[in-house]
Structure 1
Amino acid sequence: MAVSVRVHPSPKCLFDEPVQVRVSGLSPLQQVTMKASLTDEKGEAFRSFAFYRADGQGELDLSQSPSLGGHYTGTEPMGLFWSLTPGTPFTRLVKKDVASSPLYVNIEVFDGHGTLGWLPEQPLAASINERWFMKEGVRRIPVREGRVRGTLFVPPGNGPFPGVVDVYTIQGGLPEYRASLLANHGFTTLALAYRDYDDLPKYVMNFDLEYFEEAVNFLRQHPKVKGPGVGAMGISKGGDLVLSMATFLPDVVAAVATNGCIASAIFGLCFKNKLVCPGLGCTASHIQIADSGVADIIKSTDEVNKDTMIPIENAEGTILFIVGEDDKNWKSKYYAEEAIKRMKEHGKDNYELLSYPGTGHYLEPPYFPFCFASYHAVARTYTMWGGNAKEHSFAQEDWWPKVQAFFQKALNK
């Protein structure tokens, strides 16, 4: 029998869906090396390797067989995907064109246990997994309404659907991949730009919460959105922005803050021509440089106090805090604990907490490769994000469906 690699249930899937990789036609107990590779839109190559042994029938199922070495060990059905490593250090995998093309993951099997730097010239067999970001019927609609700049993703069907505003990091631009993936699961999702995109300013002193209010109102009034309230989700700087939205905008009835801050980090926040949250500063002299040459900035952010905290106790909606306990960007666990402490002091219990050990700052949807360090838009240098690959990747698989369940419960009352 010829050796073959098969991806189940289909060679085509959504990016956040798991697949089962099987190899058949091997010799009984044959030692093999599995390799996965992809090339991103910038031409950056990502690769992963793992060493396996076939069973007595010459078959290999990555959902049942343990890796004996390589980029990961143990039984990890999606290990080849989350352990993909960039050829250029400190590079994150980012998908910009979510509508017209997938990411192609080439999966190959080689005879023997090679090394991470050497494999036989020809694989025994290969297969390609197409990982898409929009399922058939999802609509992608560019938004340029008033001041609002972004992209709306509308699920297929009559609707209306729960509405969610997706606010990303301070890096600027308009990342759409998380919003597009969420729309696949039945949410009308607005990927909202707020810096360095289209005619939005590249440099700001303070952010204007009325801009975010305008975006919330745009989403609420859309015919494919089930009201009266909407949700908001954000990571990093986006995390404190959605906490502010939940605090000051009553129509935001559910908020997910992933590794956010309880203060308005770096930039102040204005609302109705008033500074409602001063910017939490940072001290550059507290930045440390690791042996790898990458900056460790966790001690650079100034300490929060009651005067700098977002008055989160005023939020009427439900808030889900998501924390990577090994976050090296800032003290996410401490910030979430301080926020919850403040809410409890005011008799509030409208919060939930997901806290993940061994997990860093950049929590993405499932199966995005782990990134320990990359370029930081504010620090303007390569910085650590923290975490380790296996535990971080477990967190990414765990938080994503829980966020969907959280929004479904809060927005379908």
Structure 2
Amino acid sequence: MLQHPQVKGPGVGLLGFSLGADICLSMASFLKNISATVSINGSGSSGNSTIHYKQISIPPLGLDLKRIKVTFSGILDIVDIRNDIVEKFENPSIIPIEKAQGPILFIAGQDDHNWRSDLNVQTASERLQAHGKEKPRIILYPGTGHYIEPPYFSVCPASVHKLFNKVVIWGGELRAHSKAQVDAWKQILSFFSQHLGGTHKGVSPKL
């Protein structure tokens, strides 16, 4: 990416959602030249499989399928299946984001039913501060579910989950979620403009 003609450098920015957010947080923690990272509804921990980087392994946090709930319509609600995070600051399943060189923007929906993203970002913030880092920027959106996508994308309240091969609920109230997608896009562009050497106060979303 650093060799791409449209990449200004000297570093790059990362934007990830859900598992992609955790991949971005891992990259920011272990790789150089990551100037800014945006995590959208990430967990901040190793999910269902071990994260490997050279000789480093981050074991999965684990889950308990007995905690799956079934809604009145038969759709699964998996929000509580992941194991609780104990020893927040030294838990081996937590991605060591305190090693990241660039700033991190955390975006979370407070009605996320994939996992409790609002609690995850709070844990991440506490971990960073416990390691002497500044409190990161956190944006929480009430009434907003898991799939915070670019503006004007259709809201996805439920769909088939690859892990379970069944339909699960993602959360989000239509109006609140739609408004969050519009605002989050602006916040992301502003964050990257600030930390990737942008000069414009207002950045065109080109949508």
TM-score w.r.t. length of structure 1: 0.46
Post-superposition offset of 1:266: 1.1
Q: C-alpha distance in 1, partners of 2:135/2:25?
A: 13
1:346 paired to 2:131: yes
The Cα offsets for residues 212-244 of structure 1, whole Å up to 9 and x where unpaired, read as: xxxxxxx01122211110011111111111111
Greater relative contact order structure (CA < 8 Å, 6+ sep) = 2
Aligned to 2:84: 303
Deviation of 1:380 after TM superposition, in Å, equals 1.6
Q: How big is each residue's C-alpha offset from its partner over 1:15-35, in whole Å with a ceiling of 9 and x where there is no partner?
A: xxxxxxxxxxxxxxxxxxxxx
Q: Deviations over 1:82-117 (max 9, x none)?
A: xxxxxxxxxxxxxxxxxxxxxxxxxxxxxxxxxxxx
- Secondary structure of 1:264's counterpart equals coil
- Deviation string for 1:247-279 (max 9, x for gaps)? 11121111100000111111211111431x112
Q: Tell me, which stretches of 5 or more residues in structure 2 are unaligned?
A: 199-207
Structure 1 unpaired stretches of 5+: 1-218
Mapped contact 1:247–1:313 kept (Cα < 8 A): yes
Matched, 1:232 2:14: yes
Distance 1:370 1:224 in 2: 31
Aligned with 1:312 (options 97, 109, 113): 97
Superposition map of 1:253-332 within 5 A: 253-275=35-57, 277-305=58-86, 306-332=91-117
* Alignment TM-score, normalising by the size of structure 2: 0.90
Secondary structure of 2:114's aligned partner: coil
Preserved contact between residue 129 and residue 135 of structure 2 (Cα < 8 Å) = no
Query: Percent sequence identity over matched residues?
Result: 43
Contact 1:287 1:295 in 2 (8 A): yes
- Count matched residues: 194
Aligned mates of 1:258, 1:373 — CA distance in 2: 18
From the two aligned structures, give the one with the greater helix fraction: 2
SS at match of 2:74: coil
Contact 1:234–1:256 (Cα < 8 Å) also in 2? yes
Q: Are the aligned partners of 2:111 and 2:145 in contact in 1 as well (CA < 8 Å)?
A: yes
| Equivalent position of 1:246 in the other structure | 28
Structure 1 residue 350: Cα displacement: 6.1
Query: Greater share of strand residues, 1 or 2?
Result: 1
The runs of at least 4 aligned residues of structure 1 exceeding 3 Å deviation read none
Mapped partners of 1:237, 1:358: distance in 2? 21
Q: Aligned equivalents of 2:107 and 2:115: distance in 1? A: 14
Structure whose alpha-carbon radius of gyration is higher: 1
Call closer, same or farther: CA 1:302–1:279 in 2, change over 3 Å: same
